[in-house]
């Protein structure tokens, strides 16, 4: 019998419904409820992240750890890594979520040399495999941490030193194989320090070539080992570096197209990374869906007053409903899901606060799903979009798009008075009202 770390929560978090008054119960998330033809659990594919929830003590740049995390004591040992894993799987099971996510360094102690780390990782992958078999919890994605160790201060693949590139390559080889071994559905690459602090010492185009070479190697290795899940790039504009190359969905799209990597990569979009890039999350998801690049999401949000990645639990149904609507419009998640790359506030020191954070966030996503399904099924937005663009299927519109018209031919027709634009309303307020009506009425 392993020790219980979350003994304040007796068993699996129940569904209590909107009228329920239990704090540790779901109000909206009801895994078996059918929404738009599918179980809620299969739509949302919720994942809990290992790093913020189990590997973080609450330390920030101004102060030490605050959180009650007994499994973090003596964290350099394999025994501590096992205890941390027990805590994590106890939590996943009690929360009742189907997936988790991890970085290599979250589960395995680093040791002295790279070969120690590789061995520790192998041991902890075996441990994870056992616990996954016992609990039925699966891996949404794995990734390598290529940003915490001092060697990565100037980037990993984009480091001025090819020896650091080599080290990052070695690490990704192991993390990708670990993900494959554990049946991971995707592999994520977040370019944490792939950017610059100062242009004074940076060769921009050279670093871009390095990054492209690195990603090409990852794609080749993925094929070599027969890993079938997509590789997901997680865009973010800045933090920890001043400028990061994977700025936003459109920037990554252009990069992938330039280096012929579009077949291998898709996107893992994070709510607050969109905010930091000056976009709505709705924009980032819509961009990815429309360009066939959508993969998965990190559902954590920022704070309006902070310009950094606060990784808070999602709590805005308004914000997530529109993103969820685009996801449904694109056919829903396939290999992706909703990952909680979330961390508690430093004052939320109790272990049970992890439940409150996740339960609230999961309910918010569930409610957003209900709104999105309503908008999708009633064609609230799609019918309006279709009629707005209908003339592009007519003689003039199709002629332009299919190349039958030229500047000269159009000029002739306009001059002859044959083509005369007529104004039409974009109906933005009406559509906003309809979205609100769905948010207010679904149950
Ligand atoms: C940091 C990122 C990170 C990735 C995984 O801002 O969100 O947590 O999701 O490396
Ligand atoms: Ni983030
Ligand atoms: Ni993230």
- Residues carrying an active site annotation: 103, 106
Residue 355's SS3 state is: helix
Atom of ligand 1 nearest to the CA of 147: 10
Contact predicate 314/320, CB 8 Å: yes
- Locate 160 and state its tokens: 């001025």
Is the distance from CB of 342 to CB of 357 less than 8 angstroms? yes
Work out the average pLDDT over 179-192. 98
| Least confident range of 2-11, 80-89, 223-232, 356-365 | 2-11
Strand partners of residue 268: 296
Q: What is the pLDDT of residue 15?
A: 98
- Distance of alpha carbon 37 from its chain centroid, rounded? 24
Tokens in use for 286?
A: 């819509």
Instruction: Report whether residue 236 contacts ligand 1, using a CB cutoff of 6 Å.
Output: yes
Least confident of 118-127, 299-308, 340-349: 299-308
pLDDT confidence of residue 332? 98
Instruction: Judge whether residue 3 has pLDDT over 80.
Output: no
Question: Residue 325 pLDDT > 80, yes or no?
Answer: yes
Q: Which residue puts its alpha carbon closest to atom 4 of ligand 1?
A: 190
pLDDT digits (tens, 9 = 90+) for 36-92: 999 999 999 999 999 999 999 999 999 999 999 999 998 899 999 999 999 999 999
pLDDT digits (tens, 9 = 90+) for 222-241: 999 999 999 999 999 999 99
Instruction: Return the pLDDT at 194.
Output: 98
Question: Quick check: CB of 190 below 6 Å from ligand 1?
Answer: yes
d(CA 237, CA 250): 12
Report pLDDT for 81.
98
CA distance 438 to 376: 11
Please, are residues 337 and 46 in contact by the beta-carbon 8 Å criterion?
yes
The yes-or-no verdict on residue 388 having pLDDT over 80 is yes
- At 239 the pLDDT is 97
Nearest to 359 by CA among 11, 58, 26: 26
Instruction: Indicate if the pLDDT at residue 195 is higher than 80.
Output: yes
Quick one: 34-377 is in which CATH superfamily?
A: Divalent-metal-dependent TIM barrel enzymes (3.20.20.150)
What confidence score (pLDDT) does residue 431 get?
97
Mean pLDDT on 103-121: 97
**411-430 average pLDDT score:** 97
Average pLDDT, rounded, for the chain: 97
Instruction: Kindly state the average pLDDT of the residues 94-120.
Output: 98
User: Given this model, what pLDDT does residue 2 score?
Assistant: 66
pLDDT in tens, 257-290: 999 999 999 999 999 999 999 999 999 999 999 9
Per-domain boundaries in the chain: 34-377, 395-441
Residue nearest to atom 3 of ligand 1 (CA): 190
Say which ligand is closest to the CA of 147: 1
Which ligand is the nearest neighbour of the Cα of 240?
Answer: 1
Look at residue 247 and tell me whether its pLDDT is greater than 60: yes
Percent of the chain with pLDDT over 70: 99
Tokens linked to 194? 């792939």
Residue with CA at minimum distance from ligand 1 atom 8:
341
**Is a pLDDT exceeding 60 seen at residue 1?**
no
């Amino acid at each position: 019998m392993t020790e219980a770390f979350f003994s304040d929560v007796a068993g699996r978090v129940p569904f209590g419904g909107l009228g329920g008054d239990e704090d540790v119960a779901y109000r909206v998330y009801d895994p078996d409820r059918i929404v738009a033809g599918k179980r809620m659990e299969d739509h949302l594919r919720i994942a809990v992240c290992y790093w913020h929830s189990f590997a973080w003590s609450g330390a920030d740049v101004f102060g030490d750890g605050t959180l009650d995390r007994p499994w973090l004591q003596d964290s350099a040992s394999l025994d501590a890594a096992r205890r941390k894993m027990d805590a994590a799987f106890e939590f996943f099971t009690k929360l009742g979520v189907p997936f988790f996510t991890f970085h290599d360094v979250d589960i395995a102690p680093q040791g002295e040399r790279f070969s120690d780390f590789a061995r520790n990782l192998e041991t902890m992958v075996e441990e994870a495999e056992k616990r996954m078999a016992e609990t039925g919890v699966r891996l949404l994605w794995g990734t390598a941490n290529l940003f915490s160790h001092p060697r990565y201060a100037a980037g990993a693949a984009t480091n001025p030193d090819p020896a650091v590139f080599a080290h990052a390559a070695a690490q990704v080889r192991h993390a990708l194989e670990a993900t494959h071994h554990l049946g991971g559905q995707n592999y994520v690459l977040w370019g944490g320090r792939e950017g610059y602090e100062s242009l004074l010492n940076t060769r921009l185009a050279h670093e871009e070539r390095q990054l492209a070479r690195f990603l090409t190697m990852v794609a080749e290795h993925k094929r070599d080992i027969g890993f079938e899940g997509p590789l997901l790039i997680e865009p973010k504009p800045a933090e920890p570096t001043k400028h990061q190359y994977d700025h936003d969905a459109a920037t990554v799209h252009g990069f992938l197209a330039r280096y012929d990597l579009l077949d291998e990569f898709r996107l893992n979009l994070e709510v607050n990374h969109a905010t930091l890039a000056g976009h709505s999350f709705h924009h980032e998801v819509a961009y990815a869906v429309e360009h066939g690049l959508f993969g998965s999401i990190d559902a954590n949000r920022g704070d309006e007053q902070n310009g950094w990645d606060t990784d808070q639990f999602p709590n805005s149904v308004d914000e997530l409903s529109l993103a969820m609507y685009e996801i449904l419009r694109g056919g829903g998640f396939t290999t992706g899901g909703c990952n909680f790359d979330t961390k508690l506030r430093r004052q939320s020191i109790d272990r049970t606060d992890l439940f409150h954070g996740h339960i609230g966030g999961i309910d918010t996503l569930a409610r957003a799903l209900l709104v999105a399904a309503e908008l999708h099924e009633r064609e609230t937005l799609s019918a309006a979009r279709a009629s707005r663009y209908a003339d592009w299927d007519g003689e003039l519109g199709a002629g332009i798009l299919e190349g039958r018209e030229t500047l000269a031919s159009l000029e002739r027709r306009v001059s002859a008075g044959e083509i005369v634009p007529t104004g039409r309303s974009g109906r933005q307020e009406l559509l906003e009202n309809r979205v609100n009506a769905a948010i207010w009425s679904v149950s």
